[in-house]
């Protein structure tokens, strides 16, 4: 019996590597496409991982990165010593949650609207116009925002007097920034999401709609019962990917757009800006890496949690 099993299994086992090789050959175009991002991920994410040890060292330039003396968890004290730890954690997660919800809602809605436009030329034009800000640098966006919100800017000099509103010194009032930042982020990034959902909509078989029209379904009914259900898997995938990054923030947005105003730090300081500032003002590599390490660990558990909760809702959409 045993030997019997053995002989039947053996060919399968030996076949496996050959199978992979064969797959490599047949799908070589696909693997070739995978190669650049693969190399990028190795270089950008895996190689620097050895640098984690700096977080546990009292780094100095003489002994370098391998031979500097160990310092235990002393570098982490700095993160929790100030009142910053709570503030930056709250801001990072809070903003990312807002961004995920807003981007999902508006990307899907606008994609649906663009898809229903009869004039396809106009639809393309709108789409391009909405997509354009995505390619702007954050520095440019920051100065556009400054041109509108500065004390001598468009709002205070032109809009406020016209509509009889009081002038506001935006760069000294932290309470407005939880609205300004999501708006700016949405304006800049929405085009990217729209393209993904438009692609998803184009992929839906037209026969469903033809059948629905025969049954007398209205446009709204078609959207609700055909388009949206088809988009749900795409929405889940993009949301999980965004949740995995919830502990990373868009450095450009939070560093450039508020113009590094200390007064706004209550509502604009996030992990990435804090780590950057810590390195710039203290010049201490150990402490900066400790903060980076903290970010990665929490981020890692958040990915696990996000994936686990998706598994609870619909098991087939789990990533791993």
Partner 1 sequence: MNRMKKMGCIVFALVFICSVVLTGCGGSKDSTVSSSSNSQASVADSSASAESKAPELKPYELNCYFLAPQTKDLPLIQDEVSKLLTEKINATIKLNYFFWDSYQDKQKLVVASGEKIDVMFSPSWWGWSTFVAQKAWLELDDLLAQYGADITKNINPAYLKAPVINGKLYAIPTNKDMFGVGGVLVNKALAEKYNFDFSNIKTPADFEPMLKTIKEKEPGIVPFVSAQGDHASYFTQDALVHISQTEVPVGYQKTDGDIKVVNLQETPEYINVIKMTREWYNKGYINKDVATLKDSMPVKKAQKAFMWGEQLKPGKNDEMKAQLGYDLIQVNAYKDIPYYATTGDLTNSMLVIPRTSEDPARAMMFINLLFNDKQIKNLLDWGIENKHYKKIGENQIDFADGVTADNSGYTGIAQWAMGGDQFLDYLWANESPDKWTKMKEFNESAKPEKLLGWVYNPEAVKTEIATLATVGKNMGNPLNEGIVDYDKYYPKMKESLEKAGINKVCADAQKQVDDFLAAKK
Binding site for partner 1 (CB under 8 A): 33, 36-37, 40, 44, 59-63, 74-75, 77-78, 81-84, 146, 150-152, 169, 171-172, 192, 195-196, 198-200, 202-207, 259-263, 265, 269, 274, 277-285, 287
State in angstroms the smallest separation of the CB of 37 from partner 1.
5
96 versus 127: smaller Cβ distance to partner 1: 127
97 versus 263: smaller Cβ distance to partner 1: 263
Burial class (CB in 10 A: 0-12, 13-18, 19+), 117: middle
State in angstroms the smallest separation of the CB of 33 from partner 1.
7
State in angstroms the smallest separation of the CB of 170 from partner 1.
10
Q: Are 104 and 238 in contact (CB under 8 A)?
A: yes
State in angstroms the smallest separation of the CB of 61 from partner 1.
4
Q: What is the DSSP letter of 87?
A: H
Per-residue CA distances from 61 to 8, 67, 253 (Å): 61, 10, 32
State in angstroms the smallest separation of the CB of 82 from partner 1.
5
State in angstroms the smallest separation of the CB of 304 from partner 1.
23
Angle at which helix 271-282 crosses helix 285-313, to 10 degrees, equals 170
Q: Residues near 182 by Cβ (< 8 Å), separated by ≥ 6?
A: 95, 98, 99, 102
Q: Residues near 102 by Cβ (< 8 Å), separated by ≥ 6?
A: 182, 185, 186
23 versus 205: smaller Cβ distance to partner 1: 205
284 versus 311: smaller Cβ distance to partner 1: 284
State in angstroms the smallest separation of the CB of 263 from partner 1.
4
Alpha helices in the chain, H assignment, sequence order: 2-26, 28-41, 64-67, 74-81, 84-116, 120-131, 138-149, 154, 160-162, 177-202, 206-214, 219-222, 228-244, 251-256, 265-268, 271-282, 285-313
Which structure tokens are listed for 308? 């686990």
133 versus 200: smaller Cβ distance to partner 1: 200
96 versus 156: smaller Cβ distance to partner 1: 156
Q: Which of 290, 298, 291 is nearest to 56 (CA)?
A: 290
4 versus 175: smaller Cβ distance to partner 1: 175
The distance in angstroms from the start CA to the end CA of the chain is 36
């Amino acid at each position: 019996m045993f030997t019997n099993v053995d002989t039947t299994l053996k060919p399968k086992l030996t076949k496996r590597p050959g199978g992979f090789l064969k797959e490599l050959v047949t799908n070589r175009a696909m693997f070739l496409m995978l190669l650049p991002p693969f190399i990028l991920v190795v270089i950008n994410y895996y190689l620097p991982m050895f640098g984690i040890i700096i977080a546990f060292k009292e780094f100095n330039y003489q002994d370098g990165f391998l031979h500097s003396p160990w310092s235990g968890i002393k570098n982490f004290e700095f993160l929790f010593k100030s009142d910053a730890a709570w503030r930056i954690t709250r801001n990072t997660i809070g903003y990312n949650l807002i961004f995920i919800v807003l981007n999902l809602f508006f990307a899907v809605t606008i994609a649906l609207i663009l898809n229903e436009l009869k004039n396809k030329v106009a639809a393309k034009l709108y789409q391009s116009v909405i997509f354009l800000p995505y390619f702007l640098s954050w520095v440019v966006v920051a100065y556009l925002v400054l041109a509108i919100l500065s004390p001598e800017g468009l709002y205070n000099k032109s809009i406020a007097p016209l509509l009889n509103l009081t002038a506001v010194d935006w760069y000294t009032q932290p309470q407005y920034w939880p609205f300004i930042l999501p708006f700016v982020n949405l304006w800049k990034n929405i085009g990217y999401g729209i393209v993904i959902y438009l692609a998803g909509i184009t992929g839906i078989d037209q026969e469903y709609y033809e059948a629905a029209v025969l049954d007398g379904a209205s446009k709204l009914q078609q959207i609700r019962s055909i388009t949206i259900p088809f988009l749900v898997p795409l929405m889940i995938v993009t949301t999980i990917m965004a949740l995995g990054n919830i502990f990373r923030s868009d450095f450009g947005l939070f560093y450039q757009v508020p113009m590094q105003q200390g007064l706004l730090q209550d509502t604009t300081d996030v992990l990435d800006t804090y780590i950057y500032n810590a390195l710039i003002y203290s010049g201490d590599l150990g402490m900066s890496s400790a903060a980076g390490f903290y970010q990665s660990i929490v981020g890692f558990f958040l990915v696990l949690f996000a994936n686990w909760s998706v598994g609870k809702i619909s098991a087939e959409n789990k990533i791993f």
